[in-house]
Structure 1
Amino acid sequence: MSKKVLIVTGDAVEALEVFYPYYRCLEEGIEAEIAAPKQKKLNTVIHDFEDWDTYTEKRGYGIESHLAFEDVKVEKYDALIIPGGRAPEHIRMHEPLLKIVTHFFETDKPIAIMCHGSLLLTPIADVVKGRKMTAYHACKPEVESMGAEYINEMDYVDKNLISGHAWPDLPAIMREFMKQVKQAPVTS
């Protein structure tokens, strides 16, 4: 039986942070499913670091979600990926998603969180209280307000929690994530 990874996101997800992990899982023979507020073609965005003081944003490719949050059966998945972009700030308002994410923390399954993905955790701050993680530097106040320690590094591993600063850090994030997924017992 193969491993199965859940990716949770919505419109305005950072394109590289959803496409790279999705195809990386498939490349390894790991089944990956994308869950969103509803099953549909999601709009992605491309963030770039140009000559601005912050990142710029452009429209990206579309990507199909496979199921709605309310249809996710958490026990079928071995690991979780939370991409960044602007999606986390609005999908965190969906109660079924918060239960999904809480499950992965409570069961110590591998969790990869990129960039602004940390914003998704603010309504369920207790899951990261006392943990260490990194995120895009503008998310530092939210990470600290949740009771987590913000680590000023591009990627950081705190047991099953693998966090990264932004899309340029995907190789390191996914290397550790794949290692943990392959070592985890199959739950699906």
Structure 2
Amino acid sequence: MEPMVLHEYAPSGNCYKIRLTAALLGLPLERRHYDIMHGETRTPAFLQNINANGRIPVLQVGSRLLPESNAACWYLATGTPLIPDDRFEQADMLRWMFFEQYNHEPNIATLRFWKAFIGEERLTASQTAQIPAKRLAGEAALAVMNDHLAQRDFFVADRVTLADISLYAYTHVADEGGFDLSRWPAVQRWIDAVSAAPGHVSLDA
């Protein structure tokens, strides 16, 4: 495999997904840090050379660049047990990865960023007004996850897959956004199971 570089902001759950996928597979990654709090992904050099969308993570494979966390995880995991062989289970895994990006991340990750990184006292009036709706939507996403996990250990295929990695990244730190995970015991049990996976690395590793 070609040398790989992860362009990242280390506290980001989206960046962590890629590091966790690589760690579970024993794949080496060089890491290059950008401080999003000081606009380092909005510089002309970054926009021209790394990602014209001005966002991270970006996985660099040789000279090629792959933005979007779940796409990068898919690249790393292709041909490994992190992606099921069964066609339906593959599609079901993708279903949960889409759920994460559409229902989960915009609410749980956003509230974490606003609360733990920006600070509620520094939010705009528009952001403050969105908090109640985002909290309700985040709680609804956690409830869906809890119901699904009530009778199974993992989301798909009875083992850790990319579905678990994509959802674990922001769920296990949801308390930083003000979510009380004790309300969802099946989710807590699943967090413990993913954390115990061989090769697991923590967010701050």
The TM-score with structure 2 as length reference comes to 0.31
Higher strand share: 1
The TM-score with structure 1 as length reference comes to 0.33
Higher relative contact order (CA 8 A, sep 6+): 2
